[in-house]
Amino acid sequence: MKILRRQLAPAVVMLAALTLVLGLLYPLAVTGVAQATMPGRADGSLVRVDGNVVGSTLVGQGFVGEEYFHPRPSAAGDGYDALASAGSNLGPGSQELIDTVDQRVDEYRTVNRLDEDIVVPVDAVTASGSGLDPHISVANATLQAQRVADARGTSREEVMTLIEIHTDHRSLGFLGQAGVNVLGLNLALDESAR
């Protein structure tokens, strides 16, 4: 019993010490540094309009209506549910996925008034791994531009200019792909209509 106590006491002390350091002090230090050096990002990159939070540049949300750019489809819960962030978990051989993508391609072409020979970007018809991707490809945005311009009574060139402004280019000039932040773009469209 004496040997057990001798071994148990240091283990309990180390557990308490590591819990204090790694579970409390380290997170507080990281949060403090983040708040001091990049407060907007540390708070979730929230987007505010007239003082009200309308979203985050990091989390996608559903937009409907011809006057808005539509995001990627979402597999998160009932759609864009941040509490149920997940992909569909359907593999490329899944008939359910194939049927869903075929249906989305038809809907995308119909909504955007596209000919059958126009290639629909993959991000327009498939959900991201999280189901909450805030970006669409430049190709996807470009194919939606005419619909949005027509619905807003503006020129396609004005809409394309806003797409360019809200395009996040490759990190370090070569990592990843350029993407258009849908929330930022739609808010800019609303702002330009005022």
Please name the helix (run of DSSP H) or strand (run of DSSP E) that holds residue 19, with its range, or none: helix 2-20
User: Is 95 found in the same domain as 49?
Assistant: yes
Q: 34 and 115: one domain?
A: no
- Angstrom distance (rounded) from CA 107 to CA 150: 18
Give 20's contacts (C-beta < 8 A, 6+ positions apart).
none
Q: Residue 42: name the closest of 50, 51, 33 by CA.
A: 33
Are both 97 and 178 inside the same structural domain? yes
120 and 174 share a domain? yes
Domain identity same for 98 and 116: yes
pLDDT tens, position by position, for the chain (194 residues)?
778 788 888 899 999 999 999 999 999 999 899 888 988 777 778 888 888 988 888 888 889 899 999 999 988 877 788 787 877 788 888 999 999 999 999 999 999 999 999 999 999 999 888 888 899 999 999 999 999 999 999 999 999 999 999 999 988 888 889 999 999 999 999 988 77
In this structure, are 52 and 130 located in the same domain? yes
pLDDT at 45: 82
Q: How many domains does the chain have?
A: 2
Q: Are residues 166 and 102 in the same domain?
A: yes
Cα–Cα distance measured from residue 80 to residue 180, given in angstroms and rounded to the nearest whole number: 17
Range of the domain at 92: 44-193
Same domain as 106, residue 26: no
Residue 147 and residue 71 share a domain: yes
161 and 145 Cβ atoms separated by less than 8 Å: no
Same domain, residue pair 9 and 62: no
Question: Which pLDDT score, from 0 to 100, does residue 54 have?
Answer: 86
Distances (CA, A) of 167 to 42, 78, 94, 95, 180: 22, 28, 33, 34, 4
- What is d(CA 13, CA 10) in angstroms, rounded to the nearest whole number? 5
Residues 26 and 70 grouped into a single domain: no
Alpha-carbon distance 155 to 145, whole Å? 9
Judge if 33 and 48 occupy the same domain.
no
Check residue 86 and give its pLDDT. 76
Dist. CA 182–CA 56, nearest whole Å: 11
Tokens at 72, concatenated? 């990627």
SS3 (DSSP) at 107: helix
Q: Which of 100, 97, 146, 104 is nearest to 121 (CA)?
A: 104
pLDDT tens figures, 124-163:
999 888 888 899 999 999 999 999 999 999 999 999 999 9
